Amino acid sequence: MADKVIKELTIKVWRQKNAKTAGKFETYKINDISGGTSFLEMLDILNEQLINDGQEPIAFDHDCREGICGMCSLFINGRAHGPDDDITTCQLHMRKFKEGETITIEPWRAGAFPVIKDLIVDRTAFEKVLQAGGYISVNTGGVPDGNAIPISQDDAEEAMDAAACIGCGACVATCKNSSAMLFVSAKVSHLAKLPQGRVEASRRAKNMVAKMDELGFGNCTNTGACEVECPKGISIANIARLNREFLAAKIKD
């Protein structure tokens, strides 16, 4: 458990005052960071240092710090959520970095995710896609008993695999085309795998894809980078399912 202490690190970080002004990289030094410190705690420490020096701290999104809320969103040394697999930025720890290393931190880059400030981007494009159809149209009350519709364990598990998506945007950030197909396909697949969701599956696939296209995400070229960087390991098999759902829906038109 005794973690090494990193004596010095250079942090090269994107600073941008707001959406309208141009940003640039700034470089800071930080010392004596324990390997057991999380990456965001390292930024907390750097921010404390900046405040004490009379500078404005670095703005970054974060909330639960348990890898589930999907708020944290940093592009670290060329990778979404940094140099470790199956984790969010908040679960990345400093033991993954070397003494004296320069760490480059950038915001998610995508036309559909404009920078708000420093490392914070606007991901409401995802919400708009969800509003276009990421639901089952059922009102509160008047629903059948939970056991009334049997669902095979395999289907429930497969739906859960897709539903595990935390909507952090790492897929878009990683994709060389800034495509949102992994996110959208996870949402569509989750509901498409359940009998409750089949009822309006066609409508959902069409509306969500149309909204996704409208918002300026790129096209999927099946490189598979998204699923590798996805902190929840969402498979691109979901993208195949979305393609299928969409094509089947469109053929009916």
Q: Max CA-CA distance within the chain?
A: 64
CB of 28 to other proteins, least distance (A): 15
Residue with tokens 């995508």: 110
**Which residue's CB is nearer to other proteins, number 28 or number 50?**
50
CB of 8 to other proteins, least distance (A): 16
**Which residue's CB is nearer to other proteins, number 100 or number 143?**
143
**Which residue's CB is nearer to other proteins, number 11 or number 166?**
166
CB of 72 to other proteins, least distance (A): 10
111-115-116 Cα angle (round to 5): 140
The answer for residues whose C-beta is within 8 angstroms of residue 115's C-beta and 6 or more apart is 14, 16, 19, 23, 107, 121, 122
**Which residue's CB is nearer to other proteins, number 100 or number 149?**
149
Considering just the CA atoms, what is the radius of gyration of the chain in Å? 20
- Backbone dihedral region of 53: left (phi > 0), alpha (psi from -120 to 50 degrees) or beta? alpha
CB of 150 to other proteins, least distance (A): 3
